[in-house]
Structure 1
Amino acid sequence: MALIALGLNHLTAPLDLREQVAFAPENTADALSDLVRQPGVSEALILSTCNRTELYCTVDSGAETIPQRWLLSHHGLGTRKLDEFLYRHDENAAVRHIFRVATGLDSMVLGEPQILGQVKDAYQLARTAHSLGTPMERLLQQTFAVAKRVRSDTRIGANTVSVAYTAVRLAERVFTDLKQACVLLIGAGETIELAARHLFDAPARRLIVANRTLEHAQALASRFSGYAIALDDLPQHLAEADIVISSTASREPILTRKMVADAIRARRHKPMFLVDIAVPRDIEADVAKLDDVFLYTIDDLRDVINENMQGRQQAAREAETIIDLQVERYLAWRRTLDVRNPILQLRAGAEAQRDEVLSKARQLLNAGRTPEQALEFLANTLTNKLLHTPSANLRDAALRGDHDLLLAAERLYDASASTHDIPDKDA
């Protein structure tokens, strides 16, 4: 069995391609079930975020290319569509990769904490789909422990540099004084909640929260003195917004070019600043062609992010050291799965001999022998069967002068102590 990590991310693939291979949360469990039905695939995890789509799979020897073929087929892409954008890590490199991903070392925002929650969500979806076995279950539990240790033992999380924070920083560059700006937030997930917190602290003049489920929008808006609306009401409120930040899991655009064009006219061409940090995108790409509209996608945030990275570089090096150690620990555990376990073999052999002798003892009872005769047969025969092979091997060891084996047997069976452990029948 081999562990592989296969995928693409913000460093290897453009946004339009990442959109094509993204998995919606509501469809991921079914996709996992289909993936583990592929020949040679025994375990699978799908991690799909705005910056990456990755498959983690345990496969049989010779089936290493099955996950890639499945990914292309699942999304209806040509056989060479992803070749230049995909990366694949095998065995220890795959373990290292998932550790680095979960700790934020492979993120656009170095050390950002949201990715750990996304890995945990992927884990829960895999459990729902029953696509995990013992090796990958152990890998993910160790992944969470590594991420926790990196957070506690390094300053990887020092200095706020989340995608949400970066979006707000970018907005501040356009609107020097956020106290004069009305901000429309589309979505109610963790990223939008973080953006709302930063805007509330700024503070922005007004917050509007739009979401498909109005109750979720109301819950978020109430915490930050905002106003909640349903997505269907966006056209009526869009013109109020100086700044729009959107992050939903929608498969189709939320804001169309026509909606934004109508809002610009209603604003008498007062500029609008839009940040789309969703994958697939929430805002149609053609919106960027409109006059008086400034549209940024998640890939446009890199320059702002890089300004805030210096303080985390040393922490990242410390995190890599922790990961090096934990990779070897996981691999050492995994190697034990490939070693024949003598305890399991010994127990299985003993249980087989017990069942055989017990069956013959029952036959004696059915043939009319007394219970005492059947018990005596069972005790004597089972003792002889259990001790025959080790006794023969010890006799051979004594003849060969194999003192190591004789000493090992003495330690294993604790022969010197065993007779003293049997209570006297008259006690």
Structure 2
Amino acid sequence: MKDRWDAIILGGGPGGSTLAASLARLGRRALVLERERFPRFHIGESLLPHSREVFARLGLDEKLDARFLRKYGARFLCSSTGRARTYSFADAFDPKFEFAYQVPRDEFDLLLLRHAAELGAEVRESWEAVEVVFDGPRAIGVRARPVARSGDVAAGERTAAGDVVELRAPVIVDATGRDTLLASRMRRKAQVAELDKTALFAHYEGAAREEGVHEGNIQVVIFEHGWFWFIPFRGVVTSVGAVVSSSWIRSRGKGETLDELFDRTVAQSSWAREFLANARRVRPVGALADFSYRIDQLTGDGWLFVGDAGGFVDPLFSTGAHLAIKGADLAATAIHRALDAGDTSRAAFVGYEADVRYAVDLFLGVVQGFYRGHFRETLFEENQRPTMRKLITTILAGDVFHPERRPQWASFLQQHYPPELPAFA
């Protein structure tokens, strides 16, 4: 009996939605199971220009431009020295995409998920994947259940909350983000060196931002215990977060609330104090600890990971959503070709895994170089060489996927900033 779907995608975030939309555009039948009901809050609100290559292909660029603030570059500021340096995406080696978007994720993720449905993907919100079904080493389906009573499914599948049903497809994709459903059950997961950090985050009204074309720039404020992000949205709200060391978290006083800890963190930086001097916090402070990790294997027989489910790099360069979106685009091509060939074994997905690992590791090496100090100094070099400036800008723009031809600058980066990868015993 023929499977009803070509692929079942677990998770409806940017990776899952992009994959579903891309598969639907290729004429494939995709089912998305999303545990939550959108919209919902999420961090990771700054996109990168090269994601727009995927958005354009999916017919999303105009929708995004109508709703979200354009981001033309990134500004880095050092609290201890007062130095500041702006990088404009137009100065990258490939300046085809001169801007990205700053996006409240509740609105952005909902837009992507609805767009996937418009293109023909089947989307089930408030559906929880309980486990992936295997026949030997091969994934063949999913056991899932509706979190609440669901009437938005096909006839014959109407179920009550908690009732588990088995759904079959030749390809199962884990796009569950940090939940890493499949990895938690069958793969090995390890923390990444130098990246045992914690993020504290909130939203503010009235935070200082740049003017004119630079209004949408992300501002990265470096201070003794870590760094802040300032991500302005269209209107008056700004996302503000601090990525801090484990030692700073251990300094949290007994009974000190997250709001109080965040205020004390802001007080450590002259730039952060200035940007928030006339601002009002409109969302309580949240926290996410030890959030950088790597999975030992991204693909297998009948299954693969997309986005954060396969690993997460520190958010310094706003990589999370970008890696998910671009990775999902590659995954769609790999799945489409595998189905055409009638071979969904791991061998069909090795190219996808290699391309994603390559992109992730370019980012990872530079992020680790930042925390070790030498890349951080390169960002602020007084007499910075034009080629180095272009290289940094190119990384900030997200130009890290090179499935056909790998540029010379990438080899330079790999040589000077090789990633330190976790060992899997």
Would the TM-score normalized by the shorter structure come out above 0.5?
no
Point out the structure with max Rg over C-alpha. 1
- Give the TM-score range, shorter chain: under 0.3
TM-score by length of 1: 0.22
Question: Higher helix proportion, which one?
Answer: 1
Question: Higher strand proportion, which one?
Answer: 2
